[in-house]
Amino acid sequence: MSDTIVEPFLKGSTGRNTRGILRLSILVLIAAAAIASRLFSVIRFESIIHEFDPWFNFRATKYLVQNGFYDFWDWFDDRTWHPLGRVTGGTLYPGLMVTSGIIYHALRALTIPVDIRNICVLLAPGFSGLTAYATYLFTNEMSTSPSAGLLAAAFMGIAPGYISRSVAGSYDNEAIAIFLLVFTFFLWIKALKVGSVMWGALCALFYGYMVSAWGGYVFITNLIPLHVFVLVCMGRFSPRLYVSYCTWYALGTLASMQIPFVGFLPIRSSEHMSALGVFGLLQLVGFVEFVRSGVPSKQFATLLRGFVLAVFAIAFGGLVLLTVSGVIAPWTGRFYSLWDTGYAKIHIPIIASVSEHQPTAWPAFFFDLNLLIWLFPAGVYLCFLKLADEQVFVVVYAILASYFSGVMVRLMLTLTPIVCVAAALVLSHLLDTYLSIKSPSAPTDADIDAASNAAPAPSKKAAKQDGLRAMREPLVGIYTTFSKTSVVSALTAYLLIFVLHCTWVTSNAYSSPSVVLASRMPDGSQHIIDDYREAYQWLRQNTKEDAKIMSWWDYGYQIGGMADRPTLVDNNTWNNTHIATVGKAMSSSEEVSYPIMRQHEVDYVLVVFGGLLGYSGDDINKFLWMVRIAEGIWPDEVKERDFFTERGEYRVDEGATETMKKSLMYKMSYYNYNALFPPGQCQDRVRGVKMPDQGPVLNTVEEAFTSENWIIRIYKVKDLDNVGRDHAAAASFERGNKKKKTTKRRGPKVLRVE
């Protein structure tokens, strides 16, 4: 009955329209699901900017909205990296801020009173909907199956690998960059297929947008040339390839050079050389093709050999020369760490100290991609079956992204789109096969007649079929309803489990703002631990407008964004020495750190201490990185070995080393902590150790504020003593100690040589 009603809608041009509407509504639903699944954090907590980097982006966006584009472009920020400042306008990727600025002004033009914070919070989910659409377009270029695109869009919408960087509040460059990445690839494939300048130019336009949005644009800069190179090597050079690549490269490079932070890098740094090289190669190949069309083949072979050798020699010599002479920048450390995962740990502790730069653990692949990761190879295999130009792209992309995602956790993000595409290709292939395959009916004469139009030699085929016994019973194997239902239901079950997994991962792993911590009250209700904002708000309201805050660089952006106070170092780790200075101040004794703090005009020092609450991301646990980074600059003054006991343990209790106990960080973390406990029961709940009854003594700084759960402790740096004593003497006098007689401090006798 229902078939007869539905049937007219699925035929002819009405059918096309119906399918179009269906597809559109499915895509809209996918986008809605993608957005909705990213809203866990808003519903559980509030509309708040997450973590660290987003706070800077948010602050920059506010600056852009308040001061206009040109001020933003020329922004010199004297409230970070005190006293150096930062040329913020020239050292950031402005795409994200400009995007939200445009949305903000558009909404304001419609007099919709939207807060810029809400735009920033919801930008990533919004763009994830667009990413799903872009993935749909991209996949449709790869496959003729109409379901592949929809499946890929759905996967992209909910894959945790992408959600991890795009939940509501995660206002980071990746929020829009993944959409741009996928869309640029789509435009590239389109341009390559059609060979049109227009698509190439569009691709360049979005590439330019991508460059303005994320440093990961280098991935595109290398992937597209690699694709072209592979195609040329496969002997698939064509005018289409030539036109699309040259259009993209010329326009895209120009576009990318408009971003001040990128500037002349595209023609100078090694990371961009492959694009330039392939551009040159295409010209040569094009020239050779041209010559080939005019020269007899025998002479051509000789000519070609000589030509290739000459070009190779010249190009290689030139590259070496330019690199040696320094015109082309040498490879950056972050780039080396892409090839050698141990490189950073040895040479650049500051890169290694960031958790997202660590190599990926194997379970992470399954955690972030679930069933997609085992469908992925099959998808790549399917691409090999039908190896057109665009399938080559998938293969190249898959290989490159697999490698990089194994090197750095963060790059899982670039792998996710291609995994979704490949998995969708496989699944759609399977579903198409098993859902719509028709059992071949018994070969009656009428059927043969009917089929005679389509098949060229029906009678022969029919005769053959008759000849084979197995073919006489066609209703076996995959044609049975049983096999169909079992395969399809298995796949459905997998997909449902995938949805469950995605929701679970999103809800549990990726939806915490990390500024706000959640815990449960005894009655099961949610209790929010809001120490970070408590302390930041205190700083913002009750300290001088230009009070300089010294803290470890992790909290720089948050202090800038929430407390609105100048900081010494922040998450834009552009000056390693400055960070090492802070590390030295934290890891040295008070006598050493006080002059450092005075020289940097530090008013307050902020430390994070999780001992009371059992919050493991605190500064004592990060302390070794501070020591290591400081040691990198002052190997004679700060030594990592001194912070380990004789037996090589990192201890904070009674058995801590003398250097540890004297370090400013240790003292500030545990100052007055023992007063909270009855004697002999002082406990550090993170490290699970009993602390000594006698707490550390602070002379040069005084406790200014401690948040409710002691997570944030703020110390005020004391001014110089009024009567010119050193701080230790002054503090000792305050405590009512007798002044030590100087004669007692004579020390061992030393032979005077003069």
Partner 1 sequence: MRPLAIASAVLSFAATALCVEQGNLTKPLTSRVILPSTFKPPQNFKNANLVHIVSLEKSHPKESINVVIENIATTPQDEYFIPFTARQMETIGGLEVKDRKDPEAGLFEVEAVDFDIESDTQFYRVRLPKPLAPKAQQTLGISYSYLSALHPLPATIAQQDKQYLVYTFSAYAPSAYVTSKQKTEVKFPSTVVPEYTIIPGAKGELESPQKQGSKFTYGSFGEVPAGAVEPVKVRYEFTKPLIHVSRLERDIEVSHWGGNVAFEDRYTMTNRAANLSKQFSRVEFASQQYYNPPSTAVKELKFPLKVGSLDPYFTDVIGNVSTSRFRSNKREANLEIKPRYPVFGGWNYPFRVGYSADLKKYLRKLSSGTGYVLNVPFLEGPKQPEGIEYEFIELRVILPEGAENVKYSTNVPLVTAGISLHQTFMDTQGRTTLTLTAINIVDEYRDRELIVTYDYPFFAILRKPLVIFVTFLGLFAAAWGIGSLDVSIRGKRS
Binding residues vs partner 1 (CB under 8 A): 45-48, 110-113, 516, 528, 530, 533-534, 536-538, 540-542, 562, 672, 675-676, 702-708, 710, 716
Rounded CA separation 293/282 (Å)? 16
Q: Between residues 540 and 600, which has the closer beta carbon with respect to partner 1?
A: 540
Beta bridge pairs of residue 329: 269
Q: Between residues 17 and 672, which has the closer beta carbon with respect to partner 1?
A: 672
CA distances from 724 to 593, 719, 720 (A): 18, 11, 7
- Dihedral over Cα of 740, 741, 743, 744: its sign: negative
CA 533 centroid distance within chain: 25
For residue 187, the minimal CB distance to partner 1 (Å) is 20
For residue 674, the minimal CB distance to partner 1 (Å) is 10
For residue 557, the minimal CB distance to partner 1 (Å) is 13
Rounded CA separation 599/84 (Å)? 13
DSSP characters over 19-30: HHHHHHHHHHHH
Q: Between residues 444 and 537, which has the closer beta carbon with respect to partner 1?
A: 537
Rounded CA separation 277/457 (Å)? 52
Pair 398, 150: CB distance under 8 Å: no
For residue 432, the minimal CB distance to partner 1 (Å) is 33
Provide the 8-state DSSP code for 93: -
Tokens (6 digits) for 376 = 């992925």
> Which burial class, exposed, middle or buried, applies to 260 when counting CB atoms under 10 A from its CB (0-12, 13-18, 19+)?
middle
For the beta carbon of residue 641, count every other beta carbon within 10 angstroms: 10
Please choose, from the candidates 729, 676, 685, the residue with its C-alpha nearest in 3D space to the C-alpha of residue 703: 676
Q: Between residues 49 and 394, which has the closer beta carbon with respect to partner 1?
A: 49
Please choose, from the candidates 391, 335, 348, the residue with its C-alpha nearest in 3D space to the C-alpha of residue 142: 391
For residue 714, the minimal CB distance to partner 1 (Å) is 9
For residue 209, the minimal CB distance to partner 1 (Å) is 24
Rounded CA separation 106/112 (Å)? 9
Q: Between residues 17 and 258, which has the closer beta carbon with respect to partner 1?
A: 17
> Which burial class, exposed, middle or buried, applies to 321 when counting CB atoms under 10 A from its CB (0-12, 13-18, 19+)?
exposed
- Dihedral over Cα of 409, 219, 169, 94: its sign: positive
Please identify which residue in the block is written with the tokens 């190439």.
200
Residues 6+ apart with CB under 8 A from 592: 584, 585, 637
Pair 596, 606: CB distance under 8 Å: no
The 3-class SS string of 338-353 reads HHCCCHHHHHCHHHHC
For residue 523, the minimal CB distance to partner 1 (Å) is 14
For residue 510, the minimal CB distance to partner 1 (Å) is 20
Q: Between residues 241 and 535, which has the closer beta carbon with respect to partner 1?
A: 535
Q: Between residues 45 and 237, which has the closer beta carbon with respect to partner 1?
A: 45
405-440: string of b/e by CB count within 10 Å (b at 16+)?
Answer: bbbbbbbbbbbbbbbbbbbbbbbbbbbbebeeeeee
Q: Between residues 152 and 664, which has the closer beta carbon with respect to partner 1?
A: 664
For residue 541, the minimal CB distance to partner 1 (Å) is 4
Q: Between residues 112 and 751, which has the closer beta carbon with respect to partner 1?
A: 112
Q: Between residues 171 and 536, which has the closer beta carbon with respect to partner 1?
A: 536
Provide the 8-state DSSP code for 372: H
Pair 218, 416: CB distance under 8 Å: no
For residue 529, the minimal CB distance to partner 1 (Å) is 9
Q: Between residues 564 and 591, which has the closer beta carbon with respect to partner 1?
A: 564
Please identify which residue in the block is written with the tokens 């991508």.
210
For residue 705, the minimal CB distance to partner 1 (Å) is 5
For residue 27, the minimal CB distance to partner 1 (Å) is 19
Q: Between residues 191 and 627, which has the closer beta carbon with respect to partner 1?
A: 191
For residue 722, the minimal CB distance to partner 1 (Å) is 16
Q: What is the CA radius of gyration of the chain?
A: 32
Beta bridge pairs of residue 527: 519
End-to-end CA distance of the chain: 114
Q: Between residues 45 and 666, which has the closer beta carbon with respect to partner 1?
A: 45
